[in-house]
């Protein structure tokens, strides 16, 4: 993972404090470059940092600082721009302003969860209260930072978010691989699989299924081969992945969530893997 910048040009990222404040040199070019483009499969592999903030100066400053670490950055002026283009289903993390003119940060967080996206979120706010911060963190936010944002704190949070996202993405890929392998087993092989991981001996499985012990040994060897393991402990681990698999795991890469999709506070949402224990 890219390390911290060799030099820091500022300790904090500040929004303009008056009408005379102007974006840094090149901000117009940065804004033009950051015009949202719809996500496609060829561009979805490498992790990115996505920034959503309605203030042009803040977007440009955040992009400039984050790029010094070597990460690719995409910026958006509104939550709808980000949601409508499907980037929330790609590897990366989201740096999200809590107070946006179209959707507030908590609503964006709820929409991502409802869509099965577990992109980690770092909230930025100039007016956040303790209650809002608690709600965001309980729903799985990686961090909640006050503006003006300390550069060191922001970069540390981004590094932690991307590391956590990579871990979660690998876990989901492992579960999906285990599910695909299990589904390739025949019905008889699946019965033997369950007996083996339950700790039954071959003769006990044979008695349960009404077949010979030789038949169980044959199916057991086929199960090990199809599941891609060589030892019983590995097969038990695969069974654990199957138990953890969630329906939303298979939804990665689907249709982008409409920004106007209604979501109420009482809607049942998938569990967030970044959720903090109370």
Per-domain residue ranges for the chain? Answer: 12-172, 174-248
How confident is the model over 12-31, as a mean pLDDT? 42
Express each pLDDT in 158-189 by its tens digit. 999 999 999 988 998 999 999 999 999 999 99
Provide the pLDDT confidence category of residue 222 given band limits of 50, 70 and 90.
Answer: very high
What tokens does 277 get?
Answer: 């224990």
The answer to whether residue 39 scores a pLDDT higher than 90 is no
Quick one: how far is CA 107 from the chain centroid?
A: 17
Q: Which H or E element spans position 12? A: strand 12-13
pLDDT in tens, 226-271: 999 999 999 999 999 998 654 444 344 443 434 444 433 334 334 4
Q: Which class is domain 12-172?
A: alpha beta
Classify the phi-psi angles of 140: left when phi > 0, otherwise alpha if psi is within -120 to 50, otherwise beta: left
Fold (topology level) of 174-248? Arc Repressor Mutant, subunit A (1.10.10)
Question: In the chain, where does DSSP find H-type helix?
Answer: 27-33, 56-67, 79-84, 105-114, 130-138, 151-183, 187-197, 202-209, 213-227, 232-244
Q: What residues form DSSP beta bridges with 95?
A: 51, 122
Q: Do domains 12-172 and 174-248 have the same CATH topology?
A: no
Please write the tens of the pLDDT for every residue from 78-87: 999 998 888 7
Confidence at residue 245, expressed as pLDDT on a 0 to 100 scale: 57
Q: What is the DSSP letter of 146?
A: E
- The mean-pLDDT minimum among 121-125, 193-197, 242-246 falls in 242-246
Nearest CA-CA partner of 86 in 119, 110, 120, 53: 119
| Pair type for strands 92-97 and 72-76 | unpaired
Helix axes 151-183, 56-67, angle to 10 degrees: 70
pLDDT of res. 45: 54
C-alpha distances (whole Å) from 268 to each of 79, 100, 129, 137, 277 are 22, 24, 25, 18, 18
pLDDT at 277 over 90: no
Taking the whole predicted model, whether its pTM rises above 0.75 is answered as no
For the chain, what percent of residues have pLDDT higher than 90?
A: 50
């Amino acid at each position: 993972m890219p390390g911290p910048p060799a030099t820091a040009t500022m300790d904090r990222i500040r929004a303009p404090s008056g009408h005379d404040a102007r974006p840094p040199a090149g901000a117009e070019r940065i804004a033009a470059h950051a015009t949202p483009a719809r996500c496609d499969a060829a561009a979805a592999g490498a992790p990115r940092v996505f920034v959503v903030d309605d203030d042009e100066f803040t977007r440009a400053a955040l992009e400039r600082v984050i790029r010094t670490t070597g990460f690719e950055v995409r910026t958006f002026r509104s939550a709808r721009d980000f949601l409508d283009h499907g980037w929330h289903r790609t590897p990366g993390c989201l740096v999200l302003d809590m107070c946006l003119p179209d959707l507030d940060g908590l609503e964006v967080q709820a929409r991502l969860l409802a869509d099965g996206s577990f992109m980690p979120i770092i909230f930025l706010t100039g007016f956040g209260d303790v209650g809002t911060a608690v709600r965001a963190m309980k729903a799985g936010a990686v961090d909640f930072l006050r503006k003006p944002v300390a550069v060191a704190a922001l970069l540390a949070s981004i590094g932690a978010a991307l590391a956590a996202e990579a871990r979660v993405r690998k876990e989901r890929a492992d579960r999906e691989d285990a599910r695909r392998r299990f589904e390739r087993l025949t019905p008889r092989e699946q019965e033997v699989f369950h007996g083996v991981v339950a700790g039954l001996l071959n003769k006990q499985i044979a008695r349960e299924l009404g077949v010979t012990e030789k038949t169980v040994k044959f199916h057991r060897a086929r199960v090990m081969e199809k599941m891609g393991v060589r030892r019983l402990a590995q097969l038990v681990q695969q069974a654990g992945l199957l138990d953890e698999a969630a329906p939303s795991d298979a939804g990665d890469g689907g249709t982008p969530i409409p920004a106007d999709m209604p979501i109420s506070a009482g809607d049942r949402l998938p569990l967030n893997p970044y959720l903090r224990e109370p």
